C-alpha cells in the first residue's frame, strides 16, 4: 500500500461522510452545507494529489489504475444524486453527466 493508493482509499471513505453531512437535514443548515462542501473539496484534492504523486514518484499500480476512476465516479455520482434529491438540479442533468462519466470510463 503506497501513498497514492492510501489517498484513493481516504477519498472513498470521505464519500459517506460527505453524504451524511449533505443529506442529514433537508435542506441542510448552512454550516452542514459548508462542511459537506469542504469534505468534497478535500476529496477532490486527494484525487489530484494521488495522481500527481503516483506519476511523479513512479508509484503507479494496477490497484490505483482500477480504483482511482471508481472512486472519482462514486464521489461525483453521489454529489449529483444528492443535488437532485435536494431539488437543486434537474434529474436529466445528473443522468447526462453520470451517464457520460460511466460511458467514458467504460470505453477506456
Dist. CA 46–CA 35, nearest whole Å: 17
Dist. CA 37–CA 54, nearest whole Å: 26
3-class DSSP assignment, residue 28: coil
Q: Under a CB-based contact definition with an 8 Å cutoff, are residues 64 and 5 in contact? A: yes
Reading the chain (108 residues) residue by residue, the pLDDT tens digits are: 899 999 999 999 999 999 998 887 667 688 888 999 999 999 999 999 999 999 999 999 999 998 999 999 999 999 999 999 989 999 999 999 999 988 887 777
For helices 91-107 and 62-85, angle between their N-to-C axes, nearest 10 degrees: 170
DSSP, res 86 = T
Amino acid at each position: 500500500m503506497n501513498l497514492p493508493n492510501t489517498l484513493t482509499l481516504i477519498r472513498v471513505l470521505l464519500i459517506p461522510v460527505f453524504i451524511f453531512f449533505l443529506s442529514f437535514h433537508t435542506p441542510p443548515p448552512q454550516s452542514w452545507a459548508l462542511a459537506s462542501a469542504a469534505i468534497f473539496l478535500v476529496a477532490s484534492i486527494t484525487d489530484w494529489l494521488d495522481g500527481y504523486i503516483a506519476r511523479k514518484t513512479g508509484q503507479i499500480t494496477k490497484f490505483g489504475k482500477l480504483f482511482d476512476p471508481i472512486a472519482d465516479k462514486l464521489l461525483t455520482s453521489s454529489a449529483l444524486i444528492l443535488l437532485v434529491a435536494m431539488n437543486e438540479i434537474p434529474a436529466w442533468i445528473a443522468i447526462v453527466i453520470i451517464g457520460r462519466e460511466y460511458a467514458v470510463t467504460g470505453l477506456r
